[in-house]
């Protein structure tokens, strides 16, 4: 069975995969990256991406580091940051032949 989708660890890697698949004339594989960088939406086939809410992630990470450096008791040392899938043209329904 051939893969129908690739999920890359970030958008730059996903864009590289997308370019390699295009060179191989493989157009029936969905691709998703992470970080939702601006470049993702301006490709020939705009890249679908998970927006990780980097600003909020950075805010909480900085808060944890400052508290640690100042030896403050941390009542909360983990956070759940909402993410969002930004669907673009790199995700497609693929008919699987049996």
Closest CA to 31 of 47, 53, 42, 13: 47
Q: What is the pLDDT of residue 40?
A: 96
Round to whole Å and give the CA distance between 6 and 36: 16
**Can you give the pLDDT of all 98 residues of the chain as single tens digits?**
788 999 999 999 999 999 999 999 998 899 999 999 999 999 999 999 999 999 999 999 998 889 889 888 777 778 899 999 999 999 988 666 66
Domains in the chain (CATH in brackets) are: 5-52+82-86 (3.40.50.2300)
Indicate the pTM of the whole model: 0.80
């Amino acid at each position: 069975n051939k893969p129908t989708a690739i999920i890359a660890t970030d958008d730059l890697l996903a864009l590289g995969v997308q370019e390699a698949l295009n060179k191989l004339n493989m157009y029936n594989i969905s691709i998703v990256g992470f970080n939702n960088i601006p470049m993702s939406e301006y490709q020939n086939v705009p890249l679908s991406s998970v927006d990780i809410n980097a600003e909020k992630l950075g805010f909480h990470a900085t808060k944890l580091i400052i508290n640690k450096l100042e030896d403050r008791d941390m009542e909360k040392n983990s956070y759940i940051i909402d993410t969002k899938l930004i669907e673009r043209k790199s995700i497609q329904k693929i008919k699987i032949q049996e």
